[in-house]
Amino acid sequence: MKNILESYQIIKLLQYRYPFLLIDRVTEYEKGKRLKAVKAVSAGEPCFSGHFPDYPIMPGVLITEALAQSSSLMTVLDALDWKIGDGIPESQSDSMGVLGNVQISFLQSVLPGNLLELDVELDWKKGSASSIHVKASVEGNVCAKGKITVMTVNKNTMFS
């Protein structure tokens, strides 16, 4: 599995930091079409101390967030007109993905020690909005799937 982007590079594009960056690396990317990322689920993550102590499972909201971050990353890379091999842009992008609508079905638990595979594929794009088919799986078994809508917005004007 070839790594296209590592976590230190993803941090430059998405404004998340530990413990809330839920993408460890990007393994595939096709501009305007799809992105595949992975999250190594560790027993030492803060959520497992309380969800649930006797049977730790990754909360569905964090699986959803990992899929949303993957979707946002794809839209940011598309907006930058980034291609594999280009390297990461020196300056941070003015755009960021913002979650719009979520429809996720959960099918299987994700446990500490799992390698969570995050697959996102563009369904449609209209202006700054994109609908994205998402799927999270472990060893080929689908754990969650659905659709997420994200928008690309200028982060400089978003908080002003």
Residues designated as active site: 51
Amino acid, res. 73 = L
79 vs 98: CA distance, rounded Å: 13
- SS3 of 101-160: the string is EEEEEECCCCCCCCEEEEEEEEEEEECCEEEEEEEEEECCEEEEEEEEEEEEEEHHHHCC
Distances (CA, A) of 41 to 34, 104, 122, 125: 22, 20, 25, 31
Q: Which two tokens stand for residue 69?
A: 């971050």
What is the chain's length?
160
Element (H, E) at 27: strand 25-30
